[in-house]
Amino acid sequence: MSRVDWKSQTVVLTGASGGLGTQLAEQLSAKRAKLLLLGRSKPELCALAERLHQDYFVVDLRENDAVTKLRAFIEQQNLDITGLINNAATTHEGLFEETEVEDIQRVIATNLTVPLTLIHSLLPQLRASHGWVMNIGSVFGAIGFPGQTLYCASKFGLRGFGEALHRELESDDVQILHCAPRAIQTQLNKGVIQRLNQQLKASADKPEWVAKQIIHQIEQQQPLKTLGWPEKLFTRLNGLLPELVNGSMKKPRALLHQLIKEKSL
């Protein structure tokens, strides 16, 4: 039985116009939740909001005054926020030694700094409503994977932060939830990493299925959930016996170098 009455929920959803974000918006709207959709693309975000009859706010959350503007909009619209889904994410594929400083700043800001800043800003409202936060992580937040150093750093950080905050807050206070999907069939997983996954015969889940699992986790108020098999097993093994997982990374590492070399030709 669901512990969440969606009809009484007002949820902030970041990255709403992306593949997973759109599915979350559609499925939550079908449950009659009230949403505030956030994103950077006005045409896509506006079209989605109009179709679902939801509020939206166009913003680049990496900008210094973004959260201040968002807070002002929430107060202007008199929204009582009860939930936050930190879904917006970006990645950078390739070797760490070949990354630019701008890539480091972009990935860490989008995937880690922004979620923390949003939670910090909305925490008073969430506390008042005994609300919840859902951080969308990744299996790469528990397994270091070659070619995804920046993404892993940000998702490891998000998971550790959520775990610490969950233990810091009172049990009847804000619930901090974390979902760790494996690869999803979205634009985020394209290019070299997609080809790497194909050659390794790694599975990628449809965004509508992942969204359904996330919503079910929120309904059950389950703190941590990892999606996909054998990824779920590997995350546990990596926590207990990282040296065992190290050996299994030889093939992905070799394929990564090969694909990057082919791309540069």
Tens of pLDDT, residue by residue over 55-84, are 999 999 999 999 999 999 999 999 999 999
Three-state DSSP state, 134: strand
What's the pLDDT score for residue 62?
96
* E strand spans, 21-98: 34-39, 55-58, 83-86
Q: How far apart are CA 205 and CA 227, in angstroms?
A: 9
Beta pairing partners, 12: 36, 84
What's the pLDDT score for residue 127?
95
Q: How far apart are CA 30 and CA 91, in angstroms?
A: 30
Its pTM stands at 0.90
What's the pLDDT score for residue 201?
64
- Cβ atoms 8, 79 nearer than 8 A: no
The residues annotated as belonging to the active site are 151
Contacts of 172 (CB under 8 A, 6+ apart): 130
**Low-confidence residues in the chain, pLDDT < 50:** none
What's the pLDDT score for residue 233?
84
**Amino acid type, 208:** E
Chain position carrying tokens 């922004």 = 114
Superfamily covering domain 6-264: NAD(P)-binding Rossmann-like Domain (3.40.50.720)
For residue 195, the 8-state DSSP code is H
Domain residue extents for the chain: 6-264
